[in-house]
Chain A
Amino acid sequence: MSLVELRTAVLAKNDDLAAALRADLTAAGTTAVNLLSSPGSGKTALLEHLLARCVERGIPVAALTGDLATENDAKRLARSGAPVRQVVTDGLCHLEADLVRDHLDGWLPAGTRLLFVENVGNLVCPASYDLGESLRIVLASVTEGEDKPEKYPTAYRWADLVVVTKVDLAAACAFDEQAFLDSVTGVHPGIEVIATSARTGQGVDALLERVLPADL
């Protein structure tokens, strides 16, 4: 019996692919944004608005959207007029860097400045997989409860920005904003939080300004 010391990252292949993808996208002037949330928190609805605003303003934008099954989200998002591609994971609960790269190769229009990657709705595994993004956003809807960050600390700890969705429903579900902010700050001190509503449009422009490359 022999002991072999290795010290190898288990996700090294994914991490290496993601780093290469990030370098390629950055060199091409594309900012990639990875959107994480639980199912039903409003990623697609918010993304519909973000894509529509970009198209209105002439910003070259594109989106990949991941789901276990169906092309429903791609069809919804394509109504914005932006290039959209569905990633059907066929049961895989998260996106991985090679899936993203394979779906971008030969498809991502040249000159794309902003690329949204809507992850599979899940706050567990997606948190462990770097997709080559420059910005990772975790979304939480007001209907999910104020302690979501403490229940899924990994997703919140490695995010760059927190977006609260469906704030038009905050009063109806007695959402305690301060309790949510305390929960966020507990797991990720100092992280920025933006409140949005896809229904009223609140916060959508502020979010877009936050994710846009500095020269746009």
Chain B
Amino acid sequence: MAHAVVRTVADAVPGRRVTCVTLRIGVASGVVPQALAFAWDLAVAGTLLAGARLDVVRVPLAVTCRDCGARSEVADPLRVRCGACAGNAVDVVGGRDLELASVEVLDDDELPGADEPTAGADDITVADEITAAPLELLR
């Protein structure tokens, strides 16, 4: 999933150095922000997102009620009920989000020099570091 985020960013702002990524993650999206954060550094290594901060905005589960028509946020995702009448004839209308909300990019006059990721043969070295990192973490 972290790789999917990196690919989506790369497609959205091709060639730009990215310093911060903001994601909207629904509580019913199946994506756990902590797990994504764990994979983040590995996924961005060697890309134009290297070193970028990850900001996550959680989106609550929202339902509309077929009985009373109210739209409400669900307090307990394991007890899905209408927040107005407590009925359970509800349709989930929000909380599945997994959305790239915004990115912060460096402007042309801010482009870094020495720490800029290098293309070509150096990529192979970076790939080795990616492979080595999880093993380090497991020890």
Give A contacts to B, CB under 8 Å: 1-13, 124-125, 127-128, 150, 153-155, 157-158, 185-190
Is B138's beta carbon under 8 Å from chain A?
A: no
Which residue in A1, A10, A124 is a CB contact (below 8 Å) of B100? A10
Q: Top 8 nearest A-B pairs by Cβ distance?
A: A154-B30, A189-B88, A128-B30, A8-B100, A127-B30, A10-B98, A150-B78, A5-B102
Q: Does B98 contact A11, Cβ atoms closer than 8 Å?
A: yes
Name the A residues within 8 Å of B88 (CB-CB).
185, 189-190
Whether the pair A189, B78 counts as a contact (CB closer than 8 A) is: no
B90 and A1 form a contact (CB under 8 A):
no
User: Which residue of A10, A124, A158, A186 is within 8 Å of B78 (Cβ)?
Assistant: A186
Taken residue by residue from 99 to 139, chain B's Cβ proximity to chain A (1 for < 8 Å, 0 otherwise) reads as 11111111100100000000000000000000000000000
| B42 nearest CB across to chain A (Å) | 15
Asked whether A10 and B12 contact (CB < 8 A) given A1-B106, A4-B105, A189-B89, the answer is: no
Q: How many residues of B contact A (CB 8 A)?
A: 34
User: By the criterion CB–CB under 8 Å, are A10 and B77 in contact?
Assistant: no
Contact between A158 and B98 (Cβ–Cβ < 8 Å)?
no
* 25 A-B residue pairings within 8 Å (CB atoms): A1-B107, A2-B104, A4-B12, A4-B102, A4-B104, A6-B103, A7-B99, A7-B100, A7-B101, A9-B98, A9-B99, A10-B8, A10-B23, A128-B30, A128-B98, A153-B28, A153-B77, A153-B78, A154-B30, A155-B30, A185-B88, A186-B80, A189-B80, A190-B88, A190-B89
Q: B5 near A: Cβ within 8 Å?
A: yes
A124 CB → nearest B CB, Å:
6
State whether B78 touches A2 (Cβ < 8 A): no
Chain B residues with CB under 8 Å of chain A are 1, 4-5, 7-8, 12-13, 19, 23, 28-31, 77-81, 88-90, 92, 96, 98-107, 110
Q: How far is the CA of A61 from the CA of B85 in the complex (A)?
A: 44
Task: Identify 11 new A-B residue pairs, CB closer than 8 A, beyond the known A4-B103, A157-B80.
Answer: A1-B107, A2-B104, A4-B104, A4-B105, A7-B102, A10-B8, A11-B4, A12-B8, A128-B1, A128-B29, A185-B88
Cβ–Cβ contact A3 & B104, under 8 A: yes
Complex Cα distance, B136 from A96, in Å, reads 30
Residues of A close to B1: CB separation below 8 A: 10, 125, 128
- The chain A residue sitting closest to B92, CB to CB, is A157
A150 CA / B77 CA spacing, docked (Å): 9
In Å, the complex CA distance between A150 and B78 comes to 6
Alpha-carbon separation in the docked complex, A125 to B31 (Å): 8
